[in-house]
Chains A and B, each alone.
Chain A
Amino acid sequence: MRRALVLLPLLAFGVLLAIFIRQIDEDPSVLPSALINQPVPDFALPLLDVGEASEADFQTGAVQLINVFASWCQPCWEEHSLVTALAKDGVSIIGWAYKDPAANIARFLSRLGNPYSKVILDETGRSAIDLGVYGAPETYIVDGSGVIRYRHVGVLTPQIITAQIKPILAELEGEVQ
């Protein structure tokens, strides 16, 4: 019994070590989203072209992506080609222009091309807070009834698109049919 007790600190150390080793590869900036499986919150914002957008734009029966971007956000320039490629594959992507005036967004899109079906202008970033955004870029998958099913914080990579986004899109397309 006593001998076993002597080993206790070593055992505790081993358990802690295992926990820390497991977490060493975890990216601390990746946080669980509070809005997964919640509907896109109510909002009313202008579109880059004409008219207004609201949560109803996500209840169209079609699966859509939301890509939060801004012209001042360097990673957004990097991921733009990936977003464009997704759009070419037939994915409907709504651009959420975060804290950026319309003129800058227009210039950004005229330079890099516009892969978005709509561009929502959130110049104050106030509605983005309702969406749980804390920076650009962020990408969400919204199902046909306007419920958020996936969120990716940070820049998109080909790995994330093939390993996470494409499978979820395929699964949701299956649900729709």
Chain B
Amino acid sequence: MRRVLSLLAILAWVSPALAIGVDDAVLEDPSQEALAQRVMAELRCLVCQNQSIVDSDAPLAADLRAIVRTRLAAGDTPEDIKAYLVKRYGDWVLLNPPLKLGTALLWTAPLLALLLGVTGIVMSRRQKPKQALSAADVEAADAILGDAE
């Protein structure tokens, strides 16, 4: 028990490495820097494709982080910045794909799967055997159960 407690105490001291997207030039205003980090977390690194530019160490990701920061500091909204990058790199640069005709299936697939599952369950429930047991079957069952006792 003591061992477990001391282990938990040690774990309580461990803090996750939150210092990501580290660059030499961060924004001076901490709230702006926090906003920049949020925007960067939603942008895909184009070199290492399944990382956001916050997580990536690629030089291009560093350049894109610098762009996000300069534009935020210049007064651009997060939407402006995303639009700017989408114009250059396409929707693909967004880790959250926008809801459009082409991505409709992507967005509705979980719902469709749920509907399919629910329909399946409902249908199998409704198709319970309706036929009652015949007298002979009941007798046979009683005989077996009686033996078991």
Contacts and interface: CB of A to CB of B under 8 A. Distances in A.
Specify whether A and B are partners.
yes
B1 interface: no
A131 B85 CA distance: 11
Contact of A2 (B47, B88, B127): B127
A43 interface: no
A103 interface: no
Interface string B58-83: 01100110010000000000000000
10 contacts: A5-B123, A34-B87, A34-B89, A34-B90, A99-B59, A124-B63, A129-B60, A129-B63, A132-B88, A132-B89
Nearest to B91: A34
Given A31-B46, A134-B47, A135-B47, A126 B63 contact: yes
Interface residues of A, number: 19
A33 interface: yes
A173 interface: no
B8 interface: no
A32 B49 contact: no
B98 to A, nearest CB: 13
Nearest to B45: A134
Contacts, number: 40
B87 A129 contact: no
A99 B59 CA distance: 10
| Chain A contact residues: helix, strand, loop or mixed | loop
A134 B25 CA distance: 22
A130 interface: yes
A158 interface: no
B88 A31 contact: no
A125 interface: yes
A162 interface: no
Contact of B67 (A33, A35, A129): A129
A127 to B, nearest CB: 11
B140 interface: no
B63 A125 contact: yes
Nearest to A2: B127
Given A5-B120, A129-B64, 14 more contacts: A29-B49, A31-B46, A31-B89, A32-B90, A34-B86, A34-B87, A34-B89, A129-B60, A129-B63, A130-B88, A131-B88, A132-B88, A134-B47, A135-B60
Contact of A134 (B60, B67, B123): B60
Interface in A19-47: 28-29, 31-35
A29 B58 CA distance: 15
B90 A31 contact: yes
Contacts of B86: 34
Closest 5 CB pairs of A and B: A34-B90, A134-B46, A132-B88, A134-B60, A31-B92
